[in-house]
Structure 1
Amino acid sequence: MAISDVIFDFCGVLLDWQTRACLEGKFPDDIVNRICADDDPCGFYRYEDRMDAGEDLADIMPDVQREQGDILAGIFAYYIAHYADALPRVMPGMTDLVHDLKANGYGVWGLTNWSHETIHLAYEKFPLLNELQDTVVSGVEKMHKPNADIYELALSRFGLEADRCVFIDDTAKNIAGCQAVGIHGIRFISADQVRADLAALGVKLS
């Protein structure tokens, strides 16, 4: 069946997300480097993932303090309070892609793992998000990619058929999750690459 709708992840697809951008210059470089290391030695990404799954910051902070100590707990609280600073820009080319999809009659939607306590900051900073027809937010629904239930909820809420949709995400496991419920998946690298992959699925953008 022809593709009719495109569903976007937010962080790493529509928006650039950089923990370092929030913390650099505010805290010592060695601490920032450790927090932002890929193996997450300070647990920041793990704690944020819990928020994305629907937990409240107030319920997570005692664990942060017990596991990481007062200094890192204070930095984590600062990070969440200044979360907009971790979102420096719209990803290059993505505003034009959303606009081109809409101009050619395709539906555009959002499906993001994001805390219910900070999602408003993204909407306030980036008007592009308000151009999507609707968005499912994991922290609001207490569901979480890559589990099937959040993709199925999005399809039901948006009134879409899985095989007529494409989901774009920067994480392999989330692409596997959408494919498991019958949605076409594109793993994001760049706007140009997404355009090429959409064209291969028959999406017309000119």
Structure 2
Amino acid sequence: MASASRPITDVIFDFCGVVLDWQCRAALEGRYPAELVDRICADDDPCGFFDYEDRMDHGELLEQVLPDVRREQGEEIADIFADYIARYDDALPRMIPGMEELLSDLRQAGYGVWGLTNWSCETFHVAFEKFPQLERLLDGTVVSGVEKKFKPNADFYELALRRFRLKPDSCVFFDDTAKNVTGARQVGIHAFRFVDAQQARRNLESMGVRL
């Protein structure tokens, strides 16, 4: 990506897989049989965990989703899913290495630092409770489950830009999912697929950001 024509003033970050390490498996291992955990966490999502959580990220509440889990997957999986949501802090074992330092360096250098995440309104608070430094590191966050808008749809990015009072071509956005990077670019935001903190620093440097 070429350097920005307008100077970069603000950097926007996705949460899970970028700022925070989200691991469904971490909330299940040691509590349920290993073979059951492997099945729940398989890439093809045979127990629907990722789909049900995605519905919550889109704005549905657990009480709306859980009857479908019971009907489609049975009582055992429904109970495990409810337990997983209740212990969501266990699914967030750490911040992604190097990201606390990167966010801090951006703030110290005078850049705005923001969050834009697809996350349930019922579990998002867990991130700030477990990692209270996020309150200091972020100037604000827009959450899909609260707004009932979500990436990669243009209206979600546009909502964030309005709320944060940002110009799209003055911003850089990082997300670990390709379609969300594409969605940001389609509304004029400079965007990169997140790999790790060091690559993000190199991406920012290519846009003229100096830390």
Q: Do the structures match in fold with TM over 0.5?
A: yes
| Cα displacement string for residues 42-71 of structure 1 (whole angstroms, at most 9, x for unaligned residues) | 110000000000001101001000000011
| Cα displacement string for residues 144-177 of structure 1 (whole angstroms, at most 9, x for unaligned residues) | 1111111000000000000000111100010001
Aligned pairs for 1:51-130 (under 5 A) are 51-130=56-135
- Whether 2:9 is the aligned partner of 1:31: answer no
Q: Secondary structure at the match of 1:109?
A: strand
Unpaired runs of 5+ in structure 1?
none
CA distance in 1, matches of 2:106, 2:188: 21
CA distance in 1, matches of 2:170, 2:44: 37
**Residue identity in the other structure for 1:5:** D
- Matching residue of 1:196: 202
| Cα displacement string for residues 108-154 of structure 1 (whole angstroms, at most 9, x for unaligned residues) | 00000000001111110012321211100000000111111110000
**Residue identity in the other structure for 2:74:** G
Aligned length in residues: 205
CA distance in 2, matches of 1:52, 1:92: 25
**Residue identity in the other structure for 1:166:** V
- Matching residue of 1:46: 51
| Cα displacement string for residues 15-54 of structure 1 (whole angstroms, at most 9, x for unaligned residues) | 0000000000100111100111111111100000000000
Moved over 2 A (4+): none
Unpaired runs of 5+ in structure 2?
1-5
Q: How many percent of aligned residue pairs carry the same amino acid?
A: 65
- Matching residue of 1:142: 148
- Matching residue of 2:166: 160
Q: Secondary structure at the match of 1:196?
A: helix
RMSD over aligned Cα atoms: 0.6
TM-score by length of 1: 0.98
- Matching residue of 1:174: 180
